[in-house]
Amino acid sequence: MGGYGSAPRALNDSVLTVAENIKLTEKIFWMSFDAPELAVSARAGNCVFVYPSCGNDPMLGRPFAAADADPAVGRISVCYMVVGRGTAMLSAVKPGERLKVRAFTGKPYPEGAKELILAAGGVGAGAVLLKKKERGKSAKLFIGIPGRGYEAFAEKILSLYPDAQIYTDDGSFGRGNSMFAALPRPLSAEKELWCCGPLGFFDAMRRFYESTPEHLYYILEKRMACGFGGCMGCVVETSGGPKRVCVDRAIFRADEVDLHDN
Amino acid sequence: MTIDISAKVGTVELKSPVIAASGVWPYSEEFWSGEKLDGVGAICTKAISLAPRRGNRGIRLWETQAGVLNSIGLQNTGVKKFIENYSELVKNCPVPVIANVVMEAVWDTQETLRMLDGVEGIAAAELNISCPNADGDGMAWGMTCASAAKAAAAARKIWNRPLWVKMTPQTPDPAAVARAVEAEGADALVCSNTWLGAAIDMASGKPVFDRVVAGLSGPAVFPLALRVVWQAAGAVKIPVIGCGGVRSASDCAGMMLAGASAVEAGSAFFADVNAGKAICAGLPEYITRYGKKRLSDIVGLARE
């Protein structure tokens, strides 16, 4: 592709049947679609646009990371939080209903270091779960959540990855009230940490790994309109120039982006 | 009965009337050949300026009722890199390519056009005198007859291929601006660019966009754009291209009945990557409804 830039191969819109839409917390849901072909081709880093409406309003799809893909049952899944009108509409969808989906956008993540630590705050888990599946035991999974009210969320993750380490802010369950007591230091070329979560979570990671930002990676989300690299709505400014989260990459070294100036 | 849905904008012939508007079509092989072009009559490039532009900081997109506000800020690599990176794509594209050129300072824009003149395969230049996102540039040029005419004349002096001028809907008198641009030798008018809007983030209580204002597009603006098409098409003899919220065959046919020779679709592709194909599939019904066999036969029919 060289200088042409990149747009995802085989991206297309289709109408898929919702297999499940499980409420995991007051605001976080797990939605699965019957999609045998996508379940086979999904890679960690891929993204799915889910459209709350097939009409004009709301017009845009909601971009979510592919959180799981199970070729055996022919399903792909996303984990989303209700933050506005569109996601509220999605939360009311019943299994068996059909939704328009744009897939796949998002460039697959790189392989990563020999030892990979995946750390997520809340719904950010959706961006790292499929990587955990791809890497198996060579990736450690740390999840931080508020605590009470997130029991079903934690159970969902543990049902997929029993070795996941869950931490709760209120200490009501899990392994303690902070993953930072257990996260290994220092990072190195053989031991990277990839994280996804709210801005405060990224900031805490940056402080915790202050001496090795080159081995700390942020997985970012941005508002998107097209998902195929056309609209430039999801651009992140990096030390290497502007990058589109939808097609260039969603993962950035901590020392190449300023999250407070993007 | 075979229904002909081809369209013509002056000397530019289109296999379908649906042109991908500037700012939505990515520079990638997948989108410049094959199935993604089904139903797409032509591609407008993203904005091209003389120097690179980094685009706007902060939030760039905000969804609204049946629409979307954008504040991208004409992000592009500049004309030199455009030529280096995309000349081959343009040359090999199976549909006409329209180079969307930012109206900057006169000399800058003329230089951009001079450089683009060497690119094989550009069917027309679309002069953006209307973009609301750049400080002191596009907005000002399209607002008055005098400045719009100056912009069109400056481009016409350099550019010998078809020259389309993309108007701003913010001008108080679209018909007068259309006449002024036609008088300076423009070959077609695009009516029109996005509508200035704004949004407040109700969580923070502050404006969403760093620049406060942003361009509104999407189905919400269709009736407004249709009105501009009606006014401009009634004022000039050169072709008019309808642009603004075109999402369906009905919208496309409506624009053409009002006098448009073709349409540009932008946000329609956000909602449906196959929007061009979908719009074209529905056009024969509207052509036969009025007893016609060719799409071109319904252009301006509502005015008769």
Look at residue A9 in the predicted model and tell me its pLDDT.
58
> What are the tens digits of pLDDT across the range A203-252?
999 999 999 999 999 999 999 999 999 999 999 999 999 999 999 999 99
Look at residue B139 in the predicted model and tell me its pLDDT.
56
Mutation pick from A59, A60, A238 vs chain B, by most beta carbons of B within 10 Å, is A59
- Contact list in A for residue B46 (CB cut-off 8 A) is 230, 232
Which residue from A3, A13, A232 is facing B75, i.e. has the nearest CB? A232
Q: Which distant-in-sequence residues (6+ apart) come within 8 Å of B270 by Cβ?
A: A59, A60, A61, A225, A226, A231, B24, B68
Cα atoms in the 13 Å half-sphere on the side-chain side of B108: 15
- Contact list in A for residue B61 (CB cut-off 8 A) is 223-225, 231, 233-234
Contact A8, A107 (CB under 8 A): yes
Contact B56, B83 (CB under 8 A): no
What class has domain A115-219? alpha beta
Domain A2-105 belongs to what topology?
Answer: Elongation Factor Tu (Ef-tu); domain 3 (2.40.30)
Low-confidence ranges of chain A (pLDDT < 50): 1-7
Contact A21, A94 (CB under 8 A): yes
Look at residue A4 in the predicted model and tell me its pLDDT.
39
Look at residue B132 in the predicted model and tell me its pLDDT.
45
Distance CA A97, CA A91 (A): 12
C-beta atoms of B54 and A58 within 8 A: no
Tokens describing residue B205: 């209580």
Distance CA A110, CA A100 (A): 28
- Reported ipTM: the value is 0.94
Contact A22, A187 (CB under 8 A): no
| Structural domains of chain B sorted by starting position, each given as residue range(s) with its CATH number in brackets | 7-55+74-195+218-303 (3.20.20.70)
H/E element holding B252?
Answer: helix B249-257
Distance CA B86, CA A242 (A): 18
- Which of helix, strand or coil describes residue B23? coil
Q: What one-letter code names the amino acid at B120?
A: E
Q: How would you write the pLDDT of chain B (304 residues) with one tens digit per residue?
A: 799 999 999 999 999 999 999 999 999 999 999 999 999 999 999 999 999 999 999 999 999 999 999 999 999 999 999 999 999 999 999 999 999 999 998 999 999 999 999 999 999 999 999 754 344 544 579 999 999 999 999 999 999 999 999 999 999 999 999 999 999 999 999 999 999 999 999 999 999 999 999 999 999 999 999 999 999 999 999 999 999 999 999 999 999 999 999 999 999 999 999 999 999 999 999 999 999 999 999 999 999 9
Distance CA B197, CA B212 (A): 9
Distance CA B130, CA B225 (A): 14
- Which of helix, strand or coil describes residue B126? strand
Q: Which distant-in-sequence residues (6+ apart) come within 8 Å of A223 by Cβ?
A: A233, A234, B59, B60, B61, B62
Distance CA A22, CA A51 (A): 18
Q: How far is A192 from chain B (nearest CA, A)?
A: 29
Closest of A162, A137, A138, A166 to residue A151, by C-alpha? A166
Give me Rg for the CA atoms of chain B: 18
Going by their DSSP bridges, the two strands B240-243 and B260-265 should be labelled as parallel
Domain residue ranges of chain A, discontinuous segments joined by +? 2-105, 115-219
Which residues of B are tagged catalytic? Answer: 131
Distance CA A172, CA B258 (A): 65
Q: How many residues does chain A have?
A: 262
Q: What one-letter code names the amino acid at A26?
A: E
Look at residue B131 in the predicted model and tell me its pLDDT.
54
